[in-house]
Structure 1
Amino acid sequence: MDRWTGVLHVPFSRGGSLFRVVASLFLSPAKTLAVPRVNAILFTGDRVRCTGDPAIERLSDAAHLAGVLAGKLPVETNAWVIDAACFAGPFAVYRELVPTMDGAGDPKGYDPTGLPAAAGVANILAHSIGEIQNRFLRFSAKDSAVNQHPSASLPSYSPPRTIILGFSKGVVVVNQLVTELSHWAPGSMENTVDVLRPNPSHLTQNLLVPTSSTDVLSSISEFHYVDVGLNCAGAYITDHEVIKRICDYVVHAGKNIRFVLHGTPRQWSDPSRSWIRKEKDIMLQVLRDEAQRSELRLVPSEKLYFEGRPRSLLMHFEILEAMDIS
């Protein structure tokens, strides 16, 4: 099946900074955007320049990563790789999605008020789809929605699942979304029908991507932490209450959510940042404890890559090709 792959520069708000987004989207036989089963979204980390290592340079390229990500998932998957809109030197600053951070992009905490990351992801995807259809494919969102499922009735429609991945410092967006899901979930459980059945008015606008913060959060089925690490605390969620509320949500809603912690010795065995492994171990134990209570609807796992090899910057990037997200 054919795919459309391209680089976009998407405004978060009028006059604001541009997010660099690389999309690899599968197409229908008519060469229009097809409605995916999954939207997989990878947030990248800090910039790495002039290493002299062609493998690192290749794996630092978001365009290459979009192809890698698409190749790891079923064909009916749309892959999105998103770079931070702003950088402080080499440091990625995701301030639009994680407002509580310092000038170097390190989080001061994760505040779910207003669901900024979920709303931001919906905004970025909507702008991206609009630009692709109007500028590159010359095809309207309305026509795409109608043509892809002409006989489908809206009440039976199952929206695409969303898989969230954070590589290195991109974890700040993952943790913000986890915190927002935990904050949003208790209220959503008061009306399960609205959570499990998407709003028909949203469906008529666009079947391709979630169109609101609620749509983003309710569609998430997996969180992947990919060799994440920060120069401060906050690379992993260690608040038991956050995970507990998500556990309550999956049990009540009857859905599954996977948490997969992927790592290398580069991060998990770094003696100068020992807190990274400690945070990882705490989060994994909390997830495992809650998994038992969730009737195994909460599904945690950890995967170590390149065990026994000396720590290196190369392995930090090689995990992107080696990671198993099936």
Structure 2
Amino acid sequence: MLITDKLLLSYQRCNLRAFLDTLGDWKQQDPPSDFLLKLMRDSATYQQQTLESETYQQPYYPRGDWAAGAAATLSLMQQGVDRIYRGVICQGELGKTNDKTASILGIDDQYLPDIGEIPETPVYLSSSILHSSEITLVSRPHLLIKQPGDSKFGDWSYATADIWLSKRPKLDYQIIAAFHAQVLASVQGTMPENAWLMLRKKGLWAVNLHQRMPQMFEILDECIEMLENRDKPEVFISRQKCTLCGWYSTCHAEAESIKHLSLLPGVTAKRYAILKVLGLTDLESLANANSDLLASYPEFVAGVAVDVVQQARSTFLNQPFVREEKSSATDSVTDVTDVTDRG
């Protein structure tokens, strides 16, 4: 099994996306939207501007041949090159056939997808690390930066830096930096003291590896367990995030087929977690729910509880949604089971 930094980034943002990126049919993906293409161009422009002040070397290898990429990167590290751009580092072994295949979807478009067809050629893997003998970690940091400190190469070692368009050091970026550090440690024989994020208008930002490394391992363990068990996560539609994902149409169709509550306006991920605790996981149960009970949770403040219950009732009964004023939905609307049971 191939676990890449791109895959781990996707897992943090959406478990189902990571599952589909690995086990789904990429031919079912949506083409990138105009807005996503703009974001990609903006990211590329910022990355190029940042690198203008850097002197670096880049490993060259056949597209998709990560074993060759790792070998070329290792050679540059052994030479003591000051800056290595888009190197490939791995923990485990690439290229050995063992009857197991792993999708290479995602690794080459780690942060900025190349526009074009995704290659269909699988990568055959074998390694002897982590949970099983068939897991390989592959990392492609934007920069490997030489620094003082002993390693298997000599009196120098490397730290990683990723270039992000964001102004904030988001947690998922920091987790990926910790992932880079773990894989890099296996390559150079020593854990880097630092990992860096290169942020817009903020420059270099140091990641606290002591803090983030345990969190990274927990997330990595969960991701590996999900993929090893082929445990497909529950679909959830988030209006702001999902529209940029290539699996949006696939997931939205699944959500519609089961009438998932995430399709209701106002049902966010945090609110859905509360609904699951209360056993309100389908339209009928939510439509019959007591909004006062929901209102006791901070996630359902300021009339949100009433609106969510009314939305569920309107959808369940196929009636227009009319927001009620100054009254509890449970006091003024007939129990939907009374309506539906009358035929």
TM-score, normalised to structure 2, is 0.22
Larger radius of gyration: 2
Higher strand proportion (structure 1 or 2): 1
Structure number with greater CO (CA < 8 Å, separation at least 6) is: 1
